[in-house]
């Protein structure tokens, strides 16, 4: 048996993060240590003493208190547990794979003494809060998954395909570029063929310094895609000549993740090449750290962030919150891998690696694909890492107001936010130049019509909207209020209500989005027609997965500047950005249609299409270097 204890100070956690992240705070930049974070949110000593005393008085001995202080564990017969919690336990059968069933123990209700109720988060085995699950077991052969190949996530809770990278697609070439005599040769065709030179020109990004420190290593997350060195070298040769061939990241394998892979390996697609190519092109000789997550079998489970967070923070492996302790069977990978045909046979990695100061992630599911309590627990961990000075950049997605698995509601018309809508990461949308434009022109929100590149591709729009799970955070309230006051989209909406695991009034009264939800994206960057090498062939790609590593690289350069001045990392940057929108290029053209609607429009100020806009490096450098 386990009793999860209520965490302390969760209600004030956002305030702690704001204290070290808001530019007006006297504690800006005074990030916490991991031990300080764990101590702050550990259950109160009195709670532990009171619950243990109750157990001892009931004849329960040998109570173990977890290292992270979050739960109590003990062994007792089922009959004693039924008497202790005034309940009856039953066996529940869940189909865990195609050949065998797994038995879980649960009850319909349980009771704890009234004077202890405020100390106890949950009891397990206990009430089964989530619907029956089926573990999605995929063939270990990995193939490229496009949106039209993905399964549809219905409202009946049936299993959907695991979600992977926000995968850009190759785009065929069709037009001759116009000539612009005012621009150098390498910036002539940035509307149709985007290179690192184009990115640097668009945002005023300087050449990276030669004298750098490993303390500012840029972290890249990869999960179902692995890089190939030959493709990476060809990218350097063609578009980043200052990066020597053979340059590769420092591999931090998480639970059997493997990289690099051979050119013909089906695990090698384009995501890793994009992320690493952009990062090296903009920050070399800065060290890049590659977090390659999950083995070839478990990589196809749905909940691929938890094993990564486990590896960064050992306490997260057993962290208890909202009725969830540790990884969730049915969503998260299992280690040692139980698959008889292979996989990583070591123990789950817990606290194996120290997080880099900046981490870029270009993968994501729909917010609605996971229970509310599962997602809130994960978001808490991202807040805790933010307190320690870690900056997360996450691609918003490429499906407009929908998510990778489509839309919500009976008629599939309700907008489906893309995770992470967690307010403690920086969510990055995508922009574009059109074919006859140059780096001197203003960008638009990324939108690609069906057939724009000769057919064969679904419409693509930068993802944005409002969370169903998370309320508008303090730092964003003014921007969102201004958006609704000055540019109300005129779409029907609802105000979300919840139970423990889900929103209870999705699409109420014909509403399409949650009016009081956290808005996303926060910022954006170019995500169209970026050139890479794929299987040794030049290929153009598009998607917000291009945009996230641009921002991550840019902030890494700013961290380098601060390091040389004896300052710490910028950490969680959203409060600074929302307080200083002048440091970005506002995007006012474009929209993100989906779910049978026109979606939202890009407008002056923050909007749920391009956020606050694209980076202006000179202004951002000035801003962050002016802070302590």
Pairing verdict, β 218-222 and 358-361 = parallel
CA distance 562 to 582: 21
Burial class of residue 89 in the structure, from the number of CB atoms within 10 Å of its CB (0-12 exposed, 13-18 middle, 19+ buried) = middle
Pairing verdict, β 120-124 and 517-520 = unpaired
Residue 429 near residue 463 (C-beta atoms within 8 A):
yes
Query: What torsion, rounded to 10 degrees, do the Cα atoms 123, 124, 130, 131 define?
Result: -140
SS3 track for 555-608: HHHHHHHHHHCCCCCCCCCHHHHHHCHHHEECCCCCECCECCECCCECCCCCEC
Pairing verdict, β 447-448 and 537-542 = unpaired
User: Where on the phi/psi map is residue 412: left (φ > 0), alpha (ψ -120 to 50), or beta?
Assistant: left
Q: Which residue is listed with tokens 């022109």?
A: 441
Report CA 558 to chain centroid distance, whole Å. Answer: 22
Taking CA atoms, 2 is separated from 64, 91, 322, 403, in Å, by 9, 17, 14, 36
587 labelled binding-site residue: yes
605 labelled binding-site residue: yes
Q: Which residue is listed with tokens 């640097």?
A: 200
Residue 349 near residue 327 (C-beta atoms within 8 A):
no
Cis amide leading into 599 (omega within 30): no
β-bridge partners, 92: 104
Residue 375: both structure tokens together: 């997602």
Find all residues with CB under 8 Å of 48, minimum gap 6, and list them.
5, 65, 69, 72
Q: Which residue is listed with tokens 């950005």?
A: 577
Please list the active-site residues.
271, 275, 545
Q: DSSP assignment, residue 213?
A: -
CA distance 165 to 272: 9
435 labelled binding-site residue: no
Q: DSSP assignment, residue 104?
A: E
Residue 29 near residue 567 (C-beta atoms within 8 A):
yes
586 labelled binding-site residue: yes
CA distance 2 to 323: 11
Residue 426: both structure tokens together: 């920086």
Annotated binding site for Ca(2+): 586-587, 605, 607
Binding residues: 586-587, 605, 607
């Amino acid at each position: 048996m386990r009793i999860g204890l209520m965490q302390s100070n969760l209600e004030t956690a956002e305030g702690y993060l704001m204290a070290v992240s808001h530019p007006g705070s006297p504690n800006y930049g005074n990030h916490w240590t991991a031990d300080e974070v764990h101590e702050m949110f550990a259950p109160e000593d009195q709670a532990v003493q009171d619950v243990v005393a109750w157990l001892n008085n009931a004849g329960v001995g040998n109570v173990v208190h977890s290292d992270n202080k979050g739960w109590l564990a003990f062994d007792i017969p089922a009959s004693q547990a039924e008497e202790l919690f005034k309940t009856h336990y039953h066996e529940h059968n869940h189909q865990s794979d195609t050949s065998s069933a797994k038995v879980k123990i649960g009850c319909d209700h349980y009771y704890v003494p009234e004077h202890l109720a405020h100390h106890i988060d949950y009891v397990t085995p206990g009430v089964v809060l989530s619907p029956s699950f089926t573990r999605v077991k995929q063939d270990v052969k990995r193939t490229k998954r496009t949106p039209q190949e993905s399964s549809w996530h219905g409202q009946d809770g049936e299993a959907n395909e695991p979600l992977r990278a926000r995968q850009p697609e190759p785009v065929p070439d069709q037009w001759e570029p116009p000539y612009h005599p005012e621009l150098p040769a390498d910036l002539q065709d940035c509307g149709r063929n985007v290179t690192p030179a184009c990115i640097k020109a668009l945002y005023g990004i300087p050449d990276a310094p030669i004298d750098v420190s490993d303390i500012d290593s840029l972290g890249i997350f990869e999960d179902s895609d692995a890089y190939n060195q030959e493709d990476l070298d060809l990218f350097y040769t063609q578009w980043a000549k200052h990066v020597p061939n053979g340059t590769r990241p420092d591999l931090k394998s998480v639970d059997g993740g493997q990289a690099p892979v051979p050119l013909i390996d089906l695990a090698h697609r384009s995501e890793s090449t994009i992320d690493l190519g952009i990062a090296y092109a903009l920050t070399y000789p800065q060290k890049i750290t590659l977090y390659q997550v999950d083995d070839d079998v478990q990589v196809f489970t749905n909940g691929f962030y938890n094993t990564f967070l486990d590896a960064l923070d050992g306490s997260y492996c057993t962290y208890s919150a909202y009725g969830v302790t540790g990884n969730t069977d049915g969503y998260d990978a299992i280690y040692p891998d139980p698959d008889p045909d292979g996989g990583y046979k070591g123990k789950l990695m817990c606290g194996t690696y120290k997080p880099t100061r900046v981490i870029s992630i270009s993968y994501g599911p729909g917010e609605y694909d996971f229970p509310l309590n599962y997602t809130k627990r994960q978001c808490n961990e991202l807040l805790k890492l933010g307190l320690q000075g870690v900056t997360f950049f996450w691609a918003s997605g490429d499906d407009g107001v929908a998510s990778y698995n489509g839309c919500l509601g009976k008629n599939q018309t309700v907008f489906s936010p893309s995770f992470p809508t967690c307010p403690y990461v920086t969510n990055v949308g995508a922009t574009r130049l059109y074919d006859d434009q140059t780096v001197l022109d203003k960008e638009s929100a990324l939108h690609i019509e069906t057939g724009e590149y000769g057919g064969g591709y679904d419409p693509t729009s930068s993802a944005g909207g409002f969370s169903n799970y998370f309320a508008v955070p303090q730092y964003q309230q003014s921007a969102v209020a201004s958006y609704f006051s000055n540019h109300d989209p005129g779409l029907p909406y609802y105000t979300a209500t919840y139970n423990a695991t889900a929103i209870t009034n999705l699409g109420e009264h014909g509403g399409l989005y949650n009016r009081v939800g956290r808005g996303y994206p926060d910022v954006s960057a170019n995500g169209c027609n970026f050139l890479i090498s794929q299987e040794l062939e030049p290929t153009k790609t598009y998607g917000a997965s291009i945009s996230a590593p641009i921002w991550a690289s840019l902030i890494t350069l700013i961290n380098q500047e601060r390091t040389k001045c004896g300052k710490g990392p910028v950490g969680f940057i959203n409060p600074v950005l929302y307080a200083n929108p002048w440091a970005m290029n506002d995007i006012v053209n474009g929209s993100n249609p989906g779910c049978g609607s026109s979606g939202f429009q890009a407008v002056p100020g923050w909007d749920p299409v391009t956020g606050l806009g694209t980076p202006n490096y000179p202004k951002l450098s000035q801003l962050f270097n002016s802070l302590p």
